[in-house]
Amino acid sequence: MAEEAQDVELLGTLGCHLCEQAEAVLAMASRAVPLKIQRVDIADDEQLLAVYAERIPVLRHRQGELCWPFGALDVVRLVRGVVD
């Protein structure tokens, strides 16, 4: 049986080169675990901008958050609920 796609949000903003790098990491991680990625531009939401302006890119999942820098293995571990 195929693994169910995991919903994740990538918080960032237009023109963010680190956000582009994070997207590449998510592409690598999606080879190991299916991901349904929603890109969220924090510039469109004052609350998100206030909280995440200095922290983007941030990956959010129901299991928690990953702040940059993160790698593909970090993403896989987050969505599978693996903690140290």
| Three-class DSSP category at 70 | coil
Q: How far apart are CA 37 and CA 40, in angstroms?
A: 9
List, in sequence order, every beta strand (DSSP E) within the chain.
6-12, 35-41, 58-61, 64-67
pLDDT digits (tens, 9 = 90+) for 7-58: 999 999 999 999 999 999 999 999 999 999 999 999 999 999 999 999 999 9
Q: Is 1 or 7 the better-scoring residue by pLDDT?
A: 7
Neighbours of 2 (CB within 10 A): 5
Q: Has this prediction a pTM greater than 0.75?
A: yes
What domains sit in the chain, N to C, each tagged with a CATH number? 6-80 (3.40.30.10)
Q: How many helices (H) and strands (E) does the chain have?
A: 3, 4
